[in-house]
Amino acid sequence: MSDPRLSPLATRSLGPPTEAAQSQARAPETRRALKTPRDRRAFTLVELLIAMLIGLVVVAGLYNLFTTQTKQFLYQDLQMEMHQNGRLAADVLGRTARVAGFGTAGSVTGVLGWDGSAGDEEVSLPAIISYDASGSNGSDAITLVSMDPGLTMATNAAQPPVCDTSELSFDASFQDNAERLAQLDVGELIMCVDYTTVGTFNSYLWPIAAVDSSTGQVLVTPAVHDDYINRCAQMGNLPMVLVCSRAEVATFYIDADDTDGIGAGSPAHPVLMMDLDFESPDEDDIPVVDHIEDLQIEYCVSSGPGNTDCSDSANWRNGLTVTDVNSVYMVRFTLVVRSSRQDPQRLHPGAPLSVANNAPAATPDNYFRQALTTEVTVRNLRMQALINPTDTVAEGTIVP
């Protein structure tokens, strides 16, 4: 009898098991392993609580970081806003003060004037007028007079003006005079200065009635005021040639009063304002910079020849007297800039700042504040003071 192991069928069954056979053999064992209680269990309550606690700690940390960064961003934003407002206000005041007195000979005769307490056209208009503590919150104000240095033109010597002139003639074909004349408007003021008189010079102011830039003719309202008539009579007549330009009479003040119904300012929103027609406060005044809470102005005045040391506090004054106009060497502007919003967390107490001779009540109000001081040399006025005799300037109130 043959050995069954040698049959072809037996020979094939003795080979290695196939992959399907191996998988079928392992299936029951796998199913039994997956059904054990140990492999089917979930997270315990303790594990969930620990995971939640860790998550809460992470979320709390992120929230604290977010709120801290938000507060810091708000603080930096308010600081930057105050810094920009302060620099803009100081720049406008500084530029105007630097040119103050240009073409004025210390004072100007003609239309407009100042007698120390109210506008009086029968007296001369000083190049600088101070108003100490004239604002509703104790802030100062200042008027600065000059001619526009970018529009200066000489009158036509072939048509010299006279004291009662109603017309100023310019050569429209000379250089860019026609373009400069085109920038003059009816209702503005034209200022002319006499540089021809040896040892002194005089300035005159007329309202513009009409302008013809093609012919070079500027019609003006004749000056009939005492200061002009007396000065022109003293000189004998107007000179053959005058140097003229648009007059700039700028008054700066703080509007923090909303009871008068004029201007953009209020106690909650103080504004630095600029008036250009010597009538302020008025509806046509221009808001310059928001959130300027206080403006204090001091003047370095020479007390005599050789005594012009502005580093000496004794030479600084809060206002000008009738003899100071040609003795002003420097002007110091101190600005208090307030944030546009209160500290939202109410952590910063905040209170109005005391600067110069203004000491408001230090009542906490949660606003941020910065104080900025700039000093300006009045170069044109200093130069002209060496030539022209002392004229009149006084301390007073803003013209109503």
Torsion of CA 259, 261, 263, 264, to 10 degrees: 70
Residue 102: exposure state from Cβ atoms within 10 A (0-12, 13-18, ≥19): buried
- Residue 352 CA to residue 202 CA, distance in Å, equals 44
Q: In the chain, what percentage of residues exceed pLDDT 90?
A: 43
Across the chain, mean pLDDT equals 83
- Within 13 A of 358's CA, how many CA atoms are on the CB side? 25
Q: Is the pLDDT of residue 364 over 70?
A: yes
In sequence order, the β-bridge partners of residue 342 are 367
Count the helices and strands in the chain (H runs, E runs).
Answer: 6, 16
* Integer CA distances (angstroms), 167 to 47, 214, 222, 245, 325, in order: 98, 15, 8, 14, 30
Total structural domains within the chain: 1
> What percent helix, strand, coil does the chain show, rounded to 5?
30, 30, 45
Q: Give the least confident one: 197-201, 216-220, 390-394.
A: 390-394
Q: Give the least confident one: 13-22, 98-107, 138-147.
A: 13-22
Residue 92 within any structural domain of the chain: yes
Contact (Cβ atoms closer than 8 angstroms) between residue 354 and residue 361 = no
Residue 70 within any structural domain of the chain: no
pLDDT at 49: 87
Mean pLDDT of 66-80: 80
Q: Map residue 182 onto helix, strand or coil.
A: helix
Token look-up 């009045």 returns 378
Residue 7 within any structural domain of the chain: no
Smallest CA-to-CA distance from 218 within 207, 228, 210, 226 is with: 210
Confidence band, pLDDT 50/70/90 cuts, at residue 384: low
pLDDT at 392: 39
pLDDT at 33: 53
Q: Give the least confident one: 21-30, 46-55, 239-248, 321-330.
A: 21-30
Structural domain boundaries, residue 132: 78-385
- Residue 377 CA to residue 98 CA, distance in Å, equals 6
Q: Is the pLDDT of residue 388 over 60?
A: no
Q: Give the least confident one: 129-143, 180-194, 230-244.
A: 230-244
Q: Is the pLDDT of residue 9 over 60?
A: no
Q: Give the least confident one: 6-15, 215-224, 338-347.
A: 6-15
Contact (Cβ atoms closer than 8 angstroms) between residue 220 and residue 204 = no
pLDDT at 21: 59
- Residue 239 CA to residue 249 CA, distance in Å, equals 24
pLDDT at 151: 94
In sequence order, the β-bridge partners of residue 367 are 342
Confidence band, pLDDT 50/70/90 cuts, at residue 395: very low
Residue 31 within any structural domain of the chain: no
- How many Å separate Cα 30 from the centre of its chain? 83
pLDDT at 32: 54
Contact (Cβ atoms closer than 8 angstroms) between residue 178 and residue 213 = yes
Mean pLDDT of 359-376: 92
Residue 119: exposure state from Cβ atoms within 10 A (0-12, 13-18, ≥19): middle
Q: Is the pLDDT of residue 10 over 50?
A: no
> H helices of 200-315, where?
226-235
Residue 43 within any structural domain of the chain: no
Q: Give the least confident one: 21-30, 92-101, 180-189, 348-357.
A: 21-30
Q: Is the pLDDT of residue 196 over 50?
A: yes
